[in-house]
Chains A and B, each alone.
Chain A
């Protein structure tokens, strides 16, 4: 079981997380489209804190001893998926930048020779 103190602490962390996301959306440093994913992630975190009996049953079903371990595992998996997603995005952007750089060099040459 998760203690009341830990529940309050996790709830505060989640609220801070929401505030950071909202500020990022407001300042347009994060696109609204991808922010949905982060908000859903926060909502799941928040709900998870208050449904520990259900999570205990899930722990028993999977074979994880403690709910905190389950939360840690879920957090780890979520970060792994997100980092993989960001890695893919990074590679796609790199390819686009290279293609743009090549086009720029070729166009500069065309302009120079006109």
Chain B
């Protein structure tokens, strides 16, 4: 399909029950040649043991730093190892590996610098998330539409792919709080091309999501502030 070096970044925090099945799904996927790296974000359970016993390629952060810092470590790894495309892929088994080819296609064809795997377009995914979270997503999505004129429906999706330019940007500067919506906005605002691609996602099979009802309300307001704050500190290598 292409000769690009592609890396899947799999952040994992306390995913002892999910990480092996996630890894196996990535390993079985043969449509696109992929490398992978699991970022163990200082897990307190047996995630590290599972990774070591199964010889899964991974980095271990010395303590829990949060999803933003874990994913940024993956981008630093991708940049240091000269990857052309990096894909974020949750370690909790929610993302469907079979959509990787579709996700990276606009990047390979130079139609996008970043693609976002979306549950809310093309009606592919049956799993849509909880009501409160969907409401939060709609509010943030509308907010970004007002500020940029571009609608991103699944604005909190962690299933994303980026090209080499964005890998470099993210390796240097990546928000550790509310990373997905803030970077979606910042990338759009900096003049890069973003495309949403319909993908399938699953509900979590094991463990609890890190976002509950109270957090999701708090989340929306904090995202609004973080997005507005980005204007004071835009990406230096932005095209605009």
- What is the number of residues of chain B that contact chain A, defined by CB distance less than 8 Å? 14
Residue B212 CB within 8 A of the other chain: no
Additional 8 contacts, C-beta under 8 A, given A105-B39, A105-B73 = A98-B65, A101-B62, A101-B65, A102-B61, A102-B73, A102-B76, A106-B59, A108-B59
Residues 127-146 of B at the A interface (beta carbon under 8 Å) = none
The reply to whether A106 and B176 contact each other, CB–CB distance below 8 Å, is: no
> Hey, what's the 0/1 contact readout for B12-54 against A, CB within 8 Å counting as 1?
0000000000000000000000000001000000000000000
Q: Which residues of B contact A95 (CB under 8 A)?
A: 176
Contact residue among B59, B62, B69 (Cβ-Cβ distance under 8 Å from A109): B59
Q: Which residues of A contact B72 (CB under 8 A)?
A: 102
Residue A15 CB within 8 A of the other chain: no
Residue B232 CB within 8 A of the other chain: no
Q: Distance (Å) between the CB of A88 and the closest chain B CB? A: 15
Bound Cα distance A73, B41 (Å): 45
Q: Which residue of A lies closest to B70 (CB)?
A: A102
Residue B148 CB within 8 A of the other chain: no
Q: Which residues of A contact B77 (CB under 8 A)?
A: 106, 109
Q: Distance (Å) between the CB of A69 and the closest chain B CB? A: 35
Bound Cα distance A95, B66 (Å): 12
Name B's A-contacting residues (CB within 8 A).
Answer: 39, 59-63, 65, 69, 72-73, 76-77, 80, 176
Q: Distance (Å) between the CB of B5 and the closest chain A CB? A: 16
Residues 19-59 of A at the B interface (beta carbon under 8 Å) = none
Q: Can you list 8 residue pairs at the A/B interface with Cβ under 8 Å?
A: A95-B176, A98-B69, A101-B61, A101-B62, A102-B69, A104-B62, A105-B62, A108-B60
Bound Cα distance A108, B40 (Å): 13
Bound Cα distance A76, B61 (Å): 40
Bound Cα distance A73, B65 (Å): 38
Q: Distance (Å) between the CB of A91 and the closest chain B CB? A: 11
Q: Which residues of B contact A104 (CB under 8 A)?
A: 62
Q: Which residues of A contact B62 (CB under 8 A)?
A: 101, 104-105
The reply to whether A106 and B73 contact each other, CB–CB distance below 8 Å, is: yes
Bound Cα distance A73, B86 (Å): 54
Q: Which residue of B lies closest to A110 (CB)?
A: B80
Q: Distance (Å) between the CB of A108 and the closest chain B CB? A: 7
